[in-house]
Structure 1
């Protein structure tokens, strides 16, 4: 059977600091060796039968294989190595079908535009082939009225429900579970931050029946008292069950205790467990979150920026974006990358936004099936530091935490293994600090372990020591982030009769390095700025770290900090780029050292990862101009992929805005719209590309396209502003790709516009790629 694949969506990298370059035919073919499915095509002739572009700036090479088949590869490493291929037939440049010519020209334009825009080399996406999960949570709840109607008051002022309670309540509402709270749901606890005349909070929800049917998805408009009571009772039960610290400014509770409350009071599955993201690679974490959404349902998720926030993850899109419900009346709800949880609108208790640090989630939350599985515990330490050896005593400092939903009683242990970690030698529990862990839960930290390793237990040699905890007769290791070792190298050398010299070190598994750090030009007072670079980890794993933007003083110490980003470090080096808000205190114009830093968990001192020189200039109002707007092949556009390009020049300061690419029908109605973030500094020009699809389009129909920005106009609010005239476009004939025969006996497959396979039995209205054998065509499902 013939196999032909055309990659209809060209993958490009943009905005990276590394520089892409043109490739020779041999270099272009060499990149194919990294494509497992195409390694057999490496024997293609070294001379292309066709070059698209120019001699000075080639964009595509077309090769025919002597044994049959062809391959189209990128001639610039800004694009993915392989653009299309077939294991049979040949390409005749003199007799190309018109739509093949158009497709090659379109690919060529994208590559040349990206290269001219200074885009960096293409890095292969590792987004797995996952099915879409539509957003599951229908509620758009918040923390104020009517949700907080039954929350306690302070000096007559209402307090907020708290983000933890709102997230928890929305997940419970999704399941409409339980019908009744447990008989033990009689709450009483000390009110953290409460008024002096109300030292404790109490509420009896024993066997309380939740009125799920009267809870509305939205309380933004009208509701009656029964509907208000229904949601207010749920919010109060959730808040009291996690011992909420209520406040008229922002109420707070520990994220990690939600699971304990769900199991203890609300009959949820006892196998639920908390997981901190830092213990896993980005790819593994994404897969874990996806599998939980698929197998259990929506999940309580949390992260930190200027403050911590708790919210709900409840959906997935096959391009790697997850759907989040932020708990702010639906504001900012939408799709986000897990590395970029930056809602545009921030509601109650949200601080300045950006929840990319200290991420974690509750896994396995679902109604109980009546069984009682063993609790799942997660004990962690961010890193081991300040090791001390005094005689037989080994002291380790670190932030030792129980990240599990449950409080435990246990004892500290050192689990001792052979040097290579293959053989368990001994476990010691002779500890001075702590003598025991009592009611050890997420609310508590232990910063020091001090245990004795007697000479009778351990002889001369080199060993691995894993700090841990013993709970109910079982031993658990304090797990560390993937970039940190979870054991100590301990060496005992005999110096005399029953006398030993003991040493301890923490092995390095790699260092986080940032190369080519740049602020992309001058910084302007009170203006946002762009930071870019390449993050490399010298070890074998992938890891991430939340880094703050900072300016250093003349002694190299942190002077001021600003918003940062969660940076992913990989062994091969991963380009990054983020935009930061201005620094939190006054900064005068002048020359500075810019740095990316993080705060040490133990010493609370800033650690510098990388730095570069920069200049802070006086404030200049950010201005820009849209120079041009073009649509590829406007006389015969493909309705599934209308490619548009706009060039924008910076006229002063740092200009940052949102541009909207639009398509309107003949009556002037907007049929599709796509927003793109603009960031351009004075004297620079950027190119923005957008690809839109037109639903239910018919060949020959006329539309117009344009790009605009929005400005406030009274009356009427925000209105679009168009600097350039509309571009007329006409729908072309996209019935299929001629010249490639169909195998009528082959299986019919459908793909979405990202090339991901979808189930033919469950196609929702839209445009799809249909493939039968080697015949590829576009179809519209209405």
Structure 2
């Protein structure tokens, strides 16, 4: 028995115990990573600990920090190592930037805090401390840096001098431009567009300090040639005023809530950026705002990389439970790290993971926990190329005391002409322009062909970021329910008239493809046996399968089939010698087999 058990365990995947990472082990890994990623550098022993996470109160006694930041003492470069091998080993790195030890940019500080929360959530999971998958173990044992795939050169700008020269003062103090305005200005500098804005930015009053901001007429030229990519060295007043003008316009365009330097800083809603760029700055109508939690890991990676492949920097937001701030993605590597420009004069710029979790885990249902809720992106930001606008509905998980997870029902069995109830929500709209049109629930077959509409609603000028929760929708199916049938939601594209399916993040448990009848495989669920003594050919077939037998001349011998529930028997002893065709049909699926009956042995 002992040998048998050993044999069985040898068949299982190899697992290691998840554990905390000491500072010594983390430093050793950091040195290995630098050697692998930058072999021409020699003084790796000069790597020293710069920062660890500050959330000591959130850790259990004896628990390691969530992360360690190691930096080179004699040159630029840093690596952020996780404090637990239940997550990815290297969380961020750079071979040519420095990491700030104090006065971290608020967006970087919140990103690190979000990573800490993600790791803390992982440590609290019931499975923590039990096993570590092969995939993750491999990443810890063979740490390597990826190769750059796309690197877009974006400006290493900041929020204070000279960028805030034209920003209003609060109680006699200068104010920051704000991370959202800075990220927007960096993207505009990359495209060097527009030549000049148009229209008038409306007056408003700031929310926090009730500071009145006068209307700002546009039409003045943006002096792109006098906006260097870095203001770290000395610069002319012309260059200072050029970038300050752009920053002021960006901040006013999104109604920034200005705050004094040394205080709470300047805030703005990133959702206002796209509309502002399209209205005042001549940017394409295809630009839009999307939310990470609405997409699977693979979908999100494809979208982000696709934007960068098209040479479009992405304005991204990420953070923690305390808030989210904007920054710019301007590249990615072969290991799914994205190059981040924090908008802090280049400090901390480098390659970062968007989640600390193993990609294999994210693709298997983990979906980043609550951390993904703090991430969003502005995509399609480019000079106006005549885009007609993007329409996009997504199901997202939501709760208001009642949990909504796409299309759900308490019913388990569905019958024709028998009414039942569906809960629908949250059905969110994330297009680039307001939507007017019909949204429907449909009974479809396994191939997505619509059999009938079950429910519809009309939307009129539905703005992006809004949507519907529809509890207790009563529907009745009147068409036959066949194998693989389901319920989906769809809308008809206003411009193209093409039917578009509403999808959702299945990794987060969001159901957009609601199964009415599980799909049956005729081939996989059919078995056949033959008894030489009795000469009985016996088939086990799925329910509702029609079995027919034909002779070589087309004669129908189906009467020879004896059916008892899912078992079909054919007495071949009663058939003449010859070749026969056995045809199985289940709804739209057909399978044909030939068999021969020999002459009786004398």
User: Bigger relative contact order, structure 1 or 2, given CA contacts below 8 A and separation 6+?
Assistant: 2
What is the TM-score when the length of structure 1 is the normalising length?
Answer: 0.39
- Could you say which structure has the higher strand fraction? 1
Structure with a larger share of its residues in helix = 2
Q: What is the TM-score when the length of structure 2 is the normalising length?
A: 0.50
